[in-house]
């Protein structure tokens, strides 16, 4: 027997994906900003010996397509003709949700209206008479709080009754002024015991003067927590990996494996892998969950809302602000996030400028350099790091403006962003999902590219031409350019060889400075500082290195993602050229004026 198809439809931020997870037992991440669900997602569930295929459609405000998400949703409903449409509605915004419900009911007689977020409605003193609403709309109406599973069993029963024909709905068909009808129905079915007010938090976060100050403080707090807490687990991992490295090397020697093979595998490939994990894992395991909690609470879409006007003035789409926020975690994620932008021109701008946002892989370089040369106090270091992030935001907007008036001319488009209410984060669930879906995924991807990088680095350091290694020859050849940019050839070479993973840039520098054949390490910040100062580093070198860390070519993973998204060598090349030229220009200017 074939499965019956159930489609979940509704506006963004109404909890469709959470309903989907509760019905199917899947645990897909649910973001609360527009366009988070870009493609349809399908799974199965069983109820009373019947197999149901449930499809989570992209969030849409209308069945008259104005965006890619709305086109995907309408095409599925019209062409696939599901056995039942579940119209998911925000109980706190019934009047605003009803026009879409009318459009959905015009497509089928087999429908159920789900009044989700009932708990939030109760907190706001909003009561919706589900029985009366059901009589008016002519279809079953179910109240639910999907986050806690409340009402899902009732939803299952009504889906079963509608799809099996036990209940024959007679949906209301509204052909006239849908907004007037929505207002009338809401007036008849909704009671409010508390006046509608703007929360104090929104007055601060969205205020004309306080919005950017509050955003800066929020990110400063996140960065401070990340910097403060990541050092200890990183040192522990480094200690454990050092012991493991010794054991593996001794085990290979006991098997009479040649010293060269041990050097390649252990001190080349394996040491790079261990370094990437020990440096990258702790800050990711802290920053990503904090980022997810901020999103779950409702702060992240408000930050994007505040940045909307700035990006629009730069000739880009306001949705690029969302991609920029995603890029703080991983630039490859930010690039794929550009799919939510409908205009091909604006999507390309977002893709090519996302690498100007410092990702999690570049934080270790920035944190290390800031801590050694400018601030030993973790909070002061966080403020300085925030300053560099703000500089990257300015660089993103500058590059977006330049692209929009040159190779990607055009007018910026507007978009509708419905800010979700503040919600108490599901801390354990959100942290677990973030660790599983982001931390592990990004770490595995970094490990895959770090292994061949370790081999290349070892070869460069151990193959000698004349009286010097290939590494020394390459750094000497780049020294003139490096000096002109306020750095040196070793630093530039480290960025080039760090193309697979930015986390290994500093160890490559040390290896080149110390002329060692393996990836170098340092026991403390003081010992690293002593090595760098002995090789000519000054405060100017540190500033230029931090700026070049912000603005240089994307890592290998991001670049591959750019090519997959654009299917064009031209735009992929530009995504390298744009940040590289910006970084080189800024470093050149800084080298002259400092």
Name the burial class of residue 69, with classes exposed (0-12), middle (13-18) and buried (19+) by CB atoms within 10 angstroms of its CB.
Answer: buried
Whole-number percent of the chain with pLDDT over 90: 29
The pair of structure tokens assigned to 4 is: 């019956």
Between residues 83 and 58, the one the model is more confident about: 83
* pLDDT band per the 50, 70, 90 thresholds, residue 573: very high
Residue 576's pLDDT is 94
Side by side, the strands of the sheet bearing 84-90 are: 41-47, 50-56, 4-9, 84-90, 111-116, 141-143
Which regions of 296-342 does DSSP assign to beta strands (E)?
none
CA dihedral sign of residues 79, 80, 86, 91: negative
Residue 477's pLDDT is 92
Mean pLDDT within 283-310:
81
Q: Choose among 413, 215, 421, 417: nearest CA to 328.
A: 215
* DSSP code for 58: P
What does residue 7 show for φ and ψ, rounded to 5 degrees? -105, 130
Mean pLDDT within 306-323:
82
- Range of lowest pLDDT (151-155, 156-160, 248-252, 326-330): 326-330
pLDDT in tens, 91-120: 988 888 898 999 999 888 899 999 998 888
pLDDT in tens, 64-94: 765 666 777 888 888 888 999 999 999 988 8
Q: Choose among 506, 571, 560: nearest CA to 331.
A: 560
β-pair partners for 44: 53
Q: Choose among 298, 283, 325, 305: nearest CA to 426.
A: 298
Between residues 309 and 366, the one the model is more confident about: 366
Asked if 232 and 378 count as a contact pair (C-beta separation under 8 A), the reply is no
* pLDDT band per the 50, 70, 90 thresholds, residue 35: very low
pLDDT(537) > 90: yes
pLDDT in tens, 265-292: 888 888 878 877 787 778 778 877 887 7
Whole-number percent of the chain with pLDDT over 70: 91
The pair of structure tokens assigned to 468 is: 């010097």
Name the burial class of residue 572, with classes exposed (0-12), middle (13-18) and buried (19+) by CB atoms within 10 angstroms of its CB.
Answer: buried
β-pair partners for 90: 116
Residues 6+ apart with CB under 8 A from 303: 215, 218, 321, 325
pLDDT(33) > 60: no
How far is the C-alpha of 278 from the C-alpha of 537, rounded, in Å? 25
* pLDDT band per the 50, 70, 90 thresholds, residue 519: low
pLDDT(593) > 70: yes
Residue 412's pLDDT is 66
> If you write DSSP's letter for every residue of 437-474 in order, what string do you get?
IIIHHHHHHHHHHHHHHHHHHHHHHH-EETTEEHHHHH
Asked if 354 and 338 count as a contact pair (C-beta separation under 8 A), the reply is yes
Between residues 484 and 292, the one the model is more confident about: 484
Q: Choose among 522, 492, 583, 546: nearest CA to 279.
A: 522
Residue 339's pLDDT is 80
Per-residue b or e along 96-113, where b marks 16 or more CB atoms closer than 10 Å to that residue's CB: bbbbbbbbbbebbebbbb
CA distances from 480 to 277, 317, 492, 509, 590 (A): 33, 40, 10, 17, 16
pLDDT in tens, 498-518: 887 787 788 788 878 887 766
Between residues 580 and 424, the one the model is more confident about: 580
Residue 228's pLDDT is 81
Spell out the SS3 assignment of 474-509.
HHHHCHHHHHHCCCCHHHHHHHHHCCCCHHHHHHHH
β-pair partners for 409: none
CA distances from 389 to 335, 394, 453, 520 (A): 18, 9, 27, 28
Q: Choose among 171, 167, 162: nearest CA to 47.
A: 162
* pLDDT band per the 50, 70, 90 thresholds, residue 188: very high
The pair of structure tokens assigned to 500 is: 């697979």
How far is the C-alpha of 11 from the C-alpha of 34, rounded, in Å? 9
Give the other-Cβ count within 10 Å of 149's Cβ: 12
How far is the C-alpha of 283 from the C-alpha of 264, rounded, in Å? 28
Give the other-Cβ count within 10 Å of 542's Cβ: 20
The pair of structure tokens assigned to 64 is: 């008259």
Asked if 328 and 359 count as a contact pair (C-beta separation under 8 A), the reply is yes
> Rounded to an integer, what is the distance from CA 113 to the centroid of its chain?
32
* DSSP code for 150: B
Asked if 106 and 100 count as a contact pair (C-beta separation under 8 A), the reply is no
pLDDT in tens, 369-385: 998 899 878 888 888 98
Residue 490's pLDDT is 93
Residue 224's pLDDT is 85
Residue 431's pLDDT is 79
Between residues 55 and 444, the one the model is more confident about: 55
* pLDDT band per the 50, 70, 90 thresholds, residue 437: low
Between residues 53 and 197, the one the model is more confident about: 53
pLDDT in tens, 319-329: 788 788 778 77
Asked if 202 and 211 count as a contact pair (C-beta separation under 8 A), the reply is no
pLDDT(420) > 80: no
For the chain, count helices (H), then strands (E): 27, 10
Name the burial class of residue 215, with classes exposed (0-12), middle (13-18) and buried (19+) by CB atoms within 10 angstroms of its CB.
Answer: middle
* pLDDT band per the 50, 70, 90 thresholds, residue 524: low
Asked if 324 and 393 count as a contact pair (C-beta separation under 8 A), the reply is yes
Helix (H) or strand (E) holding 561: helix 556-566
Q: Choose among 230, 543, 592, 514: nearest CA to 372.
A: 543
How far is the C-alpha of 591 from the C-alpha of 594, rounded, in Å? 6
Residue with the two structure tokens 């056995």 = 83
Q: Please give the mean pLDDT across all residues of the chain.
A: 84
């Amino acid at each position: 027997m074939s499965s019956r198809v159930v489609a979940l439809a509704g506006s963004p931020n109404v909890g469709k994906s959470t309903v989907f997870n509760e019905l199917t037992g899947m645990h897909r991440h649910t973001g609360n900003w527009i366009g988070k669900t870009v493609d349809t997602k399908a799974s199965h569930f069983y109820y009373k010996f019947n197999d149901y295929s449930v499809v989570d459609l992209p969030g849409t405000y209308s069945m008259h397509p104005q965006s890619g998400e709305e086109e995907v949703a309408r095409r599925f409903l019209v062409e696939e003709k599901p056995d039942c449409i579940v119209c998911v509605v925000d109980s706190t915004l019934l009047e605003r949700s009803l026009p879409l419900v009318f459009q959905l009911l015009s497509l089928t007689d087999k429908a159920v209206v789900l009044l989700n977020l009932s708990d939030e409605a109760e907190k706001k003193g909003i009561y919706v008479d589900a029985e009366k609403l059901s009589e008016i709309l002519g279809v079953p109406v179910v109240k639910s709080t999907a986050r806690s599973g409340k009402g899902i069993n009732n939803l299952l029963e009504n889906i079963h009754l509608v799809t099996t024909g036990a209940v024959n709905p007679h949906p209301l068909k509204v052909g006239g002024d849908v907004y007037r009808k929505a207002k009338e129905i809401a007036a008849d079915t909704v009671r409010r015991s508390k006046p509608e007010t703007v929360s104090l938090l929104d007055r601060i976060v969205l205020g004309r003067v306080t919005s950017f100050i509050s955003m800066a403080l929020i990110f400063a707090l996140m960065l401070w927590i990340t910097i403060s807490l990541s050092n200890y687990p990183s040192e522990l991992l480094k200690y454990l990996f050092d012991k493991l490295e010794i054991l593996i090397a001794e085990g290979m020697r006991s098997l009479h494996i040649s010293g060269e093979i041990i050097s390649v595998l252990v001190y080349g490939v394996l040491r790079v892998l261990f370094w990437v994990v020990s440096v990258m894992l702790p800050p990711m395991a802290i920053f990503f969950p904090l980022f997810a909690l901020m999103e779950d609470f409702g702060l992240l879409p408000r930050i994007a809302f505040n940045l909307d006007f700035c990006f629009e003035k730069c000739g880009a789409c306001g949705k690029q602000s969302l991609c920029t926020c995603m890029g703080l975690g991983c630039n490859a994620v930010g690039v794929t996030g550009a799919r939510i932008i409908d205009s091909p021109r604006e999507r390309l701008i977002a893709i090519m400028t996302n690498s100007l946002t410092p990702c999690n892989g570049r934080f270790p370089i920035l944190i290390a350099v800031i801590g050694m040369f400018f601030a030993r106090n973790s909070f002061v270091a966080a403020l300085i790091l925030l300053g560099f992030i703000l500089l990257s935001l300015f660089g993103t907007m500058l590059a977006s403006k330049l692209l929009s008036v040159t190779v990607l001319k055009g007018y910026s488009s507007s978009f509708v962003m419905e800010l979700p209410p503040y919600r108490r984060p599901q801390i354990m669930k959100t942290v677990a999902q973030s660790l599983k879906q982001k931390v592990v995924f990004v770490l595995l991807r970094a490990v895959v590219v770090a292994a061949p990088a370790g081999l290349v680095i070892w070869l460069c350091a151990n193959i000698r031409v004349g009286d010097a290694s290939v590494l020394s020859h390459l750094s000497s050849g780049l020294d003139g350019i490096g000096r002109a940019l306020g750095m040196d050839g070793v630093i530039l070479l480290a960025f080039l060889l760090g193309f697979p993973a930015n986390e290994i840039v500093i160890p490559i520098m040390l290896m080149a400075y110390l002329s060692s054949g393996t990836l170098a390490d340092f026991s403390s910040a003081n010992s690293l500082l002593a090595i760098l100062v002995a090789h000519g580093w000054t405060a100017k070198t540190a500033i230029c290195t931090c700026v070049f860390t912000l603005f240089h070519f994307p890592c290998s993973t991001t670049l591959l993602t750019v090519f997959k998204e654009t299917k064009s060598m031209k735009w992929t090349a530009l995504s390298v050229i744009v940040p590289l030229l910006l970084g080189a220009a800024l470093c050149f200017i800084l080298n002259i004026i400092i």
